[in-house]
Chains A and B, each alone.
Chain A
């Protein structure tokens, strides 16, 4: 009965259930069968407390009320997939600031395997960060992810043939055209719903990755509007795949390009994901704390060993770092 605690009512392990594991010490060598000590508690799968960096305010992280939104926006989304030679772990976590003020998570993410005509499937992954001050930016970021998938799927299946990953010269043009269509799709949506298009403002970073068989590096095309980021973790260090949007400013600025109304300068890059490389797509809720060495080193540590499970990945991203209360979203793609 589920409301009984484990300690007061241990399951009848080993009698009827062939799946049941024996007690932790195993059946052998237990001499004191009359030991009346309570059975060992199951260890929690993860530490109860998340990792802290700096000394965040004691009230940080209290979730308080629910956001006032028409459609539910979960506080946290975890997702995962395994392909032949590629593993994906993803989490989108509401920031402590939004939890304190009862606002919805404004980041969104998604990933899909898309068929290509006459070629291997591709994995499309994207992260969008709704612009903070706008009422419907959580809708805008979801919309940008869906539209990116739609446009890339249409392109891959279209009469012109597969997603064109083959011709470097055309990549910037392709990225621009895809993002233009995303922008137009968002403007159409705004027209139907009535909000000012600016209310949907969001950044977008996406990756198109060959789902090629293992054994050789997979090609990956990145595209971006705004200040979300893409890194490659290789040999114990993160490399920025796209130019750092804020760089080494004396006084930092949070200004960013955004869809659908901002300057739609699309950046495009190509990387190869080798075995043991990790591609990271993330919102600035992760990229900003990663500017300090403590967080970066911890992530290198987490992601350079065995690939974490989805829950563990979510826990790793749930760290609290003083002054960084923004929504935090990351998709990691491991090459194996």
Chain B
């Protein structure tokens, strides 16, 4: 049966600097995301959710899923360095395959949305801009809208460069655990509002948070 689908991708940094409170906060939030989205009939039927974790390597922890179909969420474990290239390359391959699969099943696919969360500077300073160019290439039709969230050691410029639509940088008013809870809430609200057909033109499209407590909103400035 043909459906209209807005795919969401959560790209989550699980490098060793995330050890402790940050990774625990994310792991505590994932079941909340599952419950809030999966239990909402309006939103669950129109959105799909994928979780990709990255450190010096990247992995699809939850393939693009209908959150009302799954019974539990994966768990992140912190270790290793921070490599944006492998993360963005895996994201591009995953979106390519997901969109092709959804189209082949006869679905109507809306532009994917990516929530990119990181707490540190990438180790692959020279390589990641090329990977970023591939994922924002205007000739690549399913190129996603990227919202980037930085905290910990992440700096404004990098977060602005990763984002294509909006960037958020932790302002230190909340501890990392609380800030990450707010991040998760903003992701939930974004998915719910996007799935509720609140687009200015009358249909479904990405509803972005304007403000996230504990974060300062800064304009996206893609490379």
Q: B138 near A: Cβ within 8 Å? A: no
Interface-lining segment among A178-186, A303-311, A320-328: A320-328
Q: Are B109 and A252 in contact (CB under 8 A)?
A: yes
Minimum C-beta distance from A51 to chain B (A): 11
Q: Are B45 and A132 in contact (CB under 8 A)?
A: no
Instruction: Please list 8 pairs of residues, one from A and one from B, whose beta carbons are closer than 8 Å in the complex, sorted by A's number.
Output: A101-B196, A130-B202, A250-B109, A252-B109, A253-B205, A256-B202, A258-B201, A324-B3
CA distance A160 to B198 in the complex (A): 43
Per the CB 8 Å criterion, the residue count for chain A at the interface is 44
CA distance A61 to B45 in the complex (A): 12
Q: Are A57 and B45 in contact (CB under 8 A)?
A: yes
Q: A80 near B: Cβ within 8 Å? A: no
* Chain B residues with CB under 8 A of A57: 40-41, 44-45, 68
Instruction: Assess A323 versus B3: contact at CB under 8 Å? Given A58-B41, A288-B108.
Output: yes
Question: Which residues of B in the span 190-208 have a Cβ within 8 Å of any Cβ on A?
Answer: 196-205
Q: Are B2 and A256 in contact (CB under 8 A)?
A: no
Q: Are B41 and A292 in contact (CB under 8 A)?
A: no
Q: B135 near A: Cβ within 8 Å? A: no
Instruction: Assess A292 versus B109: contact at CB under 8 Å? Given A101-B42, A323-B45.
Output: no
Q: Pick the contact of A131 from B3, B68, B201 — CB < 8 Å?
A: B201
Q: Pick the contact of B106 from A62, A253, A292 — CB < 8 Å?
A: A292
Instruction: Assess A250 versus B103: contact at CB under 8 Å? Given A133-B198, A256-B201.
Output: yes
* Chain A residues with CB under 8 A of B109: 250-252
Per the CB 8 Å criterion, the residue count for chain B at the interface is 32
Minimum C-beta distance from A310 to chain B (A): 27
Question: Which residues of B in the span 47-92 have a Cβ within 8 Å of any Cβ on A?
Answer: 68
Please report whether the interface of chain B is mostly helix, strand, loop or mixed according to DSSP.
Answer: loop
Q: Are A53 and B1 in contact (CB under 8 A)?
A: yes
* Chain B residues with CB under 8 A of A323: 3-5, 45-46
CA distance A292 to B2 in the complex (A): 5
Q: A44 near B: Cβ within 8 Å? A: no
The 7 closest A-B pairs by CB, nearest first: A254-B203, A292-B2, A54-B1, A57-B41, A323-B3, A131-B202, A250-B141
Q: A1 near B: Cβ within 8 Å? A: no
* Chain B residues with CB under 8 A of A324: 3-4
Chain B residues near A (Cβ < 8 Å): 1-5, 39-42, 44-46, 68, 99, 103, 106, 108-111, 141-142, 196-205
CA distance A292 to B105 in the complex (A): 10
CA distance A203 to B202 in the complex (A): 10
* Chain A residues with CB under 8 A of B41: 56-62, 96, 100, 325
Q: Are B197 and A132 in contact (CB under 8 A)?
A: yes
* Chain B residues with CB under 8 A of A251: 99, 109-111, 141-142
* Chain B residues with CB under 8 A of A321: 1, 3
Q: Are A254 and B44 in contact (CB under 8 A)?
A: no
Known: A59-B40, A130-B202, A227-B202. 14 other contacts (CB 8 A): A57-B68, A101-B196, A131-B200, A203-B202, A251-B111, A252-B108, A255-B201, A255-B203, A256-B201, A288-B108, A289-B2, A292-B106, A322-B3, A323-B46
Q: Are B110 and A133 in contact (CB under 8 A)?
A: no
Instruction: Assess A54 versus B68: contact at CB under 8 Å? Given A250-B142, A326-B197.
Output: no
Q: Are A292 and B1 in contact (CB under 8 A)?
A: yes
Most chain A CB inside 10 Å of its own CB: which residue of B3, B5, B205:
B3
* Chain A residues with CB under 8 A of B202: 129-133, 137, 201, 203, 227, 254, 256, 258
* Chain B residues with CB under 8 A of A253: 110, 201, 203, 205
B39: nearest residue on chain A (CB-CB)? A59
Q: A4 near B: Cβ within 8 Å? A: no
Q: Are A252 and B2 in contact (CB under 8 A)?
A: no
